[in-house]
Amino acid sequence: MSTNSLPKRYLITAALPYANGLKHIGHLAGAYLPADTYVRYLRAQKRDVVFVCGSDEHGTAIPIQATKEGTTAQAIIDKYHPIIEQNFKDLGISFDIYHRTSAPIHHETAREFFKTLNDKGDLITKESEQYFDETAQSFLADRYIKGTCPNCSHPGAYGDQCESCGKSLSPDELINPVSTLSGNAPIKKLTKHWYLPLDRHEAFLRKWILEEHANDWRATVVGQCKSWIDGGLLPRAVTRDLDWGVTLPDDVVDGKGKVLYVWFDAPIGYISATKQWALDNEKDWKPYWESKDTKLVHFIGKDNIVFHCIIFPVMLQLHGNILPENVPANEFMNLEGDKMSTSRNWKLEMEDYINDFIKPENGGSQMADVLRYYLTAIAPESKDSEFTWKGFQDANNSELVSIFGNFVNRALVLMHKLCKGKVPPLHAAAMDELDHETIANIKAAKEKVEKLIEEYKFRDALFEVINLARIGNQYMQKKEPWIIAKTLDTNPDGQQLIDNCLHICLQLTGNLAILINPFLPFTAKKICYLLKVVDRILDWENAGSLKLVSVGYSLRPPELLFRKIEDEEICKQVEKLKAAAVHKEVTPAVEAKQEEKAITVKPEIVFDDFAKIDLKVGTIVSAEKVEKADKLLKLQVDLGFEVRTIVSGIAMHFDPAAIVGKQVTVVTNLAPRKMRGIESNGMILMAEDAVGKLHFINPETAIDNGSGVS
RNA sequence: GGCGAGGUAGCUCAGUUGGUUAGAGCACAGGAUUCAUAACCCUGAGGUCCCGGGUUCAAAUCCCGGUCUCGCUACCA
């Protein structure tokens, strides 16, 4: 916040998009657009700034998706990385580098990072009770192990909990453990996992965030961090048993077959991207990550707060890097009355907008600026906001076109008509109070915009730019040069008044170009073209100047900056959105949050194994939500010979009232288990589709309850 | 369920440490104007500040309770 000691350099990051699909305008508005605006402003200030981003290409979701699509993980990331990169380019997001975490330099960087922390003793290892199934050739998650409970001697206890006595267990405690995958006794292969002991750093985080940044970080960011810190920080696993990701350094004992957990490797992607940029540009990357006089800012969405404010800073600090000076997280953007959702296909992808609007015949790059304008104007800086096509149209037609575009156009048209196509001189003697006031307003606009951008208030800053155009319209209206022009015969001094008015309007137009440049770069360029000035005048230091266009210079014939958007166009978009939407069965169907579930290609079983499972058809006779649990429904299922209570985690997908009477397939001989205090006697079979929606497995036509399934 | 952030005009949002009559832009209505993309300019109408209590001379603002939205987290055999 100290304005007298400017940072020597800036490092700006925008959240790494996960390369498993296309990104929508919510992502754009949340992180990339504000980051780009900030960076363009800094560049115009001639500050030393690097803007890095890249695709996040690891984690389990990508191999899972690859399996679903019948392809390889590599193919998935190779498909999406270039498209995402191009989308950003088309929308004017000006990364200095758009990198990817599959790049070798990233793997090296992440490994080095891990090694440094590990060698210093900043990571702890836990040789967790990992059993290994030799038949299945994989480590066994706790719940895939059964054995005798040490507490109550129940023979069917799971590795994480005994159903019988309810005691929480670790697999190590089980007597006679058996793998549920193969039925064999697992061997106790010591698998080591590395953890980042966040608990060691509570004092540091408390001081750094809750004291030092209590006032200059956004309330939602500080609040979220406080919530985490107060909740008690726990060691967080840094490694996983997986074959997709950054492998551990070779010399790490027991590191074979393990990769870095994606949350650990992804943010390091900012560093590796910076390194690659430095290589490409013959620069030194180190000061950007190590020098205290670098200002680091992370632009992210609110779902990313803990990683960028708690976890990554701890990593950076341990590794000897600088910490972010701010993390201006945005809230979310809704679309036409509903949350944006990939699974329900309720979204506007950047790609779609580009295809539908940024075509030469539609206005080309100018239409990229229109989206940039609206998204900034409704940026979810302090609370969730909403994109509507009507709002988009209004913002364009009545602000960009009518106020901003129209001012520039009428200034140029009038100049051509009344000043012979040349920039008229300013006659100091003929200036009045309004002229001086308007000039003062131009200078004031610069100060306001500057201050607001520095505070990450881009929405307000953009408003001030539009407001300067409004001031221009008011000024022109009061001056009425077109009226004066009619009386020139009787009033020869009138030309001086006309000259002054248009001189000031043209200088104001030049200022608009400078001020709008961080927000709408294509528009700024176009104004430069119309004014026949070089792009260099866009340097921020020229803002407030009254010498942007030279007297006597002849300018180009006027061209419109923006076109109107017709009702027809937005109706089409709304229809398109609704037509593509996947209908949800119940209210807030959760986003298919590609959970961290490993793809288990289960080992072959024999018929006897299958025969152990007792499957029967039953009918749901009642269903109710379980108190204090979002996902659980308590069901009464009629199995013909009895009615059972079954608790099932399907509340997010089905309305309790709507599923009564439905037939389902039930595993009837599953050991009872308590959930939220209710004993569940069985399990309902569900199928999960590609977008994470659940479907009942039931007979084609209703049959008797209790019918066996085989 | 726990925690965090929000709920202010039809829409998008401001409201600083409690202090005249709660503001802006858009949309809407009326007027004026014609240089300009039926654009601009002027004027106006519009609010139970989510609900209920409390503190205070004074509450959108502080406290308590409730409710709705979003996020994090727990429950998901």
In the 264-323 segment of chain A, residues within 7 Å (Cβ) of strand B are 302-303, 305-306
| Among A78-82, A155-159, A200-204, A251-255, the least confident range | A155-159
Identify whether residues A95 and A168 lie together within a single domain: no
DSSP 8-state class, residue A236:
E
Using CA of residue A171, residue A172, residue A178, residue A182, what is the dihedral sign?
Answer: positive
A164 Cβ nearer than 7 Å to chain B strand: no
The Cα A309–Cα A195 span in angstroms is 18
Decide if pLDDT at A486 tops 50. Answer: yes
Nucleotide nearest to A463 (CA to C1'): B25
Identify whether residues A75 and A31 lie together within a single domain: yes
Decide if pLDDT at A159 tops 80. Answer: no
- What would the two tokens of residue A73 be? 């993980």
Identify whether residues A422 and A528 lie together within a single domain: yes
- The strands making up A97-100's β-sheet, listed across from edge to edge, are A97-100, A48-55, A9-14, A294-299, A324-326
Identify whether residues A614 and A672 lie together within a single domain: yes
How many Å apart are A448 CA and B49 C1'?
Answer: 28
Q: Which domain holds residue A463?
A: 388-542
In the 17-76 segment of chain A, residues within 7 Å (Cβ) of strand B are none
Q: In one letter, which amino acid is A566?
A: E
The Cα A445–Cα A540 span in angstroms is 12
More confident residue, A20 or A185: A20
- What would the two tokens of residue A115 be? 């090694």
The Cα A623–Cα A647 span in angstroms is 9
| A577 assigned to some structural domain | no
Query: Which pLDDT score is estimated for A156?
Result: 65
Helix (H) or strand (E) holding A408: helix A406-418
| Among A74-78, A507-511, A696-700, the least confident range | A696-700
Query: Which pLDDT score is estimated for A558?
Result: 94
A378 Cβ nearer than 7 Å to chain B strand: yes
How many Å apart are A271 CA and B56 C1'?
Answer: 55
Decide if pLDDT at A462 tops 70. Answer: yes
Mean pLDDT for A233-259 is 87
> With the CA atoms of A664, A667, A670 and A673 taken in that order, what torsion angle do they form, in degrees rounded to the nearest 10?
-20
Banded pLDDT at A149 (limits 50, 70, 90): low
More confident residue, A136 or A25: A25
Query: Which pLDDT score is estimated for A571?
Result: 92
More confident residue, A309 or A133: A309
| A475 assigned to some structural domain | yes
Query: Which pLDDT score is estimated for A470?
Result: 96
| A379 assigned to some structural domain | no
Identify whether residues A393 and A538 lie together within a single domain: yes
Decide if pLDDT at A630 tops 60. Answer: yes
Mean pLDDT for A482-496 is 91
Query: Which pLDDT score is estimated for A121?
Result: 94
More confident residue, A67 or A312: A312
Query: Which pLDDT score is estimated for A343?
Result: 77
DSSP A171-226: GGG-EEEEETTTSSPPB-----EEEEEGGGGHHHHIIIIIIITTTTS-HHHHHHHH
Domain count, chain A: 4
Nucleotide nearest to A558 (CA to C1'): B36
| A25 assigned to some structural domain | yes
- What would the two tokens of residue A174 be? 């089980």
Decide if pLDDT at A89 tops 80. Answer: yes
More confident residue, A217 or A163: A217
How many Å apart are A466 CA and B60 C1'?
Answer: 28
| Among A130-139, A469-478, A693-702, the least confident range | A130-139
Helix (H) or strand (E) holding A467: helix A458-479
The Cα A512–Cα A507 span in angstroms is 9
How many Å apart are A309 CA and B4 C1'?
Answer: 14
Mean pLDDT for A503-532 is 97
User: Which bases on strand B have an atom closer than 7 Å to a protein beta carbon?
Assistant: 1-7, 11-14, 25-27, 34-37, 39-42, 69-77
pLDDT digits (tens, 9 = 90+) for A324-370: 999 999 989 999 888 888 878 889 999 999 999 998 888 789 999 99
Mean pLDDT for A110-130 is 89
Banded pLDDT at A422 (limits 50, 70, 90): very high
Residue A478 burial (10 A CB sphere; 0-12, 13-18, 19+)? exposed
pLDDT over 90 for what percent of chain A?
Answer: 58
Decide if pLDDT at A586 tops 70. Answer: no
| A344 assigned to some structural domain | no
pLDDT over 70 for what percent of chain A?
Answer: 89
Most confident of A4-8, A24-28, A488-492, A659-663: A24-28
How many Å apart are A210 CA and B53 C1'?
Answer: 32
Beta strands in A282-328 (DSSP E): 294-299, 324-326
| A141 assigned to some structural domain | yes
Asked if A362 and A369 touch (Cβ cutoff 8 Å), the reply is: no
Domain boundary among A240, A274, A309: A240
We report the CATH number of the domain holding residue A678 as 2.40.50.140
Mark out the alpha helices in A300-401 (DSSP H runs). Answer: 305-306, 312-319, 350-357, 365-377, 389-394
Mean pLDDT for A85-96 is 97
Q: Smallest Cα–Cα separation from A453: which of A441, A465, A438, A443?
A: A465
Identify whether residues A73 and A196 lie together within a single domain: no
Decide if pLDDT at A285 tops 60. Answer: yes
Average pLDDT score over chain A? 87
| Among A447-451, A555-559, A622-626, the least confident range | A622-626
Query: Which pLDDT score is estimated for A359?
Result: 86
Decide if pLDDT at A94 tops 90. Answer: yes
Decide if pLDDT at A710 tops 90. Answer: no
Query: Which pLDDT score is estimated for A588?
Result: 32
The Cα A12–Cα A53 span in angstroms is 9
The Cα A469–Cα A398 span in angstroms is 13
Identify whether residues A536 and A393 lie together within a single domain: yes
Q: A14 forms bridges with which residues in the sheet?
A: A299
How many Å apart are A219 CA and B56 C1'?
Answer: 28
In the 480-509 segment of chain A, residues within 7 Å (Cβ) of strand B are 482-483
Q: How many CB atoms are closer than 10 A to CB A449? A: 27
Please measure the distance between the N-terminal and C-terminal CA atoms of chain A and give it in whole angstroms.
Answer: 69
Q: How many CB atoms are closer than 10 A to CB A679? A: 13
Domain boundary among A240, A270, A290: A240
Identify whether residues A224 and A310 lie together within a single domain: no
Identify whether residues A283 and A393 lie together within a single domain: no
**Close Cβ partners of A688 (under 8 Å, ≥ 6 residues apart):** A694, A695
More confident residue, A327 or A5: A327
Query: Which pLDDT score is estimated for A1?
Result: 42
Identify whether residues A140 and A236 lie together within a single domain: yes
Mean pLDDT for A663-690 is 80
Decide if pLDDT at A114 tops 50. Answer: yes
Query: Which pLDDT score is estimated for A106?
Result: 97
Give the strand pairing for A124-126 and A131-133.
unpaired
Banded pLDDT at A584 (limits 50, 70, 90): very low
Query: Which pLDDT score is estimated for A123?
Result: 94
Nucleotide nearest to A672 (CA to C1'): B77
The Cα A425–Cα A632 span in angstroms is 76
Banded pLDDT at A165 (limits 50, 70, 90): very low
| A340 assigned to some structural domain | no
Most confident of A63-77, A124-138, A163-177, A592-606: A63-77
Banded pLDDT at A475 (limits 50, 70, 90): very high
We report the CATH number of the domain holding residue A266 as 3.40.50.620
Asked if A585 and A653 touch (Cβ cutoff 8 Å), the reply is: yes
Nearest amino-acid residue to B25, taking CA and C1': A463
The Cα A372–Cα A362 span in angstroms is 16
The CA-CA-CA angle for residues A512, A446, A473, to 5°, reads: 45
We report the CATH number of the domain holding residue A138 as 2.170.220.10
pLDDT digits (tens, 9 = 90+) for A179-230: 765 677 777 776 788 999 999 999 999 999 988 998 889 988 998 898 889 8
How many Å apart are A333 CA and B61 C1'?
Answer: 27
Query: Which pLDDT score is estimated for A673?
Result: 76
Query: Which pLDDT score is estimated for A600?
Result: 35
**ipTM at complex level:** 0.93
Query: Which pLDDT score is estimated for A466?
Result: 96
pLDDT digits (tens, 9 = 90+) for A530-549: 999 999 999 999 999 999 99
A332 Cβ nearer than 7 Å to chain B strand: yes
Decide if pLDDT at A478 tops 80. Answer: yes
Instruction: Using alpha carbons, list the distances in angstroms from residue A283 to A113, A185, A271.
Output: 21, 57, 14
Asked if A330 and A31 touch (Cβ cutoff 8 Å), the reply is: yes
- What would the two tokens of residue A379 be? 């940026």
Banded pLDDT at A260 (limits 50, 70, 90): very high
Q: How many CB atoms are closer than 10 A to CB A257? A: 15
Decide if pLDDT at A695 tops 60. Answer: yes
Q: In one letter, which amino acid is A169?
A: L
Identify whether residues A407 and A443 lie together within a single domain: yes
In the 381-440 segment of chain A, residues within 7 Å (Cβ) of strand B are 381-386, 388, 391, 394-395, 397-399, 401-403, 405-406, 409-410, 413-414, 417
We report the CATH number of the domain holding residue A478 as 1.10.730.10
Q: A147 forms bridges with which residues in the sheet?
A: A157
Instruction: Using alpha carbons, list the distances in angstroms from residue A78 to A20, A94, A153, A489.
Output: 10, 21, 53, 71
Banded pLDDT at A5 (limits 50, 70, 90): confident
A380 Cβ nearer than 7 Å to chain B strand: yes
The Cα A302–Cα A327 span in angstroms is 10
How many Å apart are A353 CA and B12 C1'?
Answer: 22
- What would the two tokens of residue A679 be? 């004993």
Query: Which pLDDT score is estimated for A102?
Result: 96
Domain boundary among A182, A209, A240: A240
Identify whether residues A517 and A441 lie together within a single domain: yes
Banded pLDDT at A241 (limits 50, 70, 90): confident
| A230 assigned to some structural domain | yes
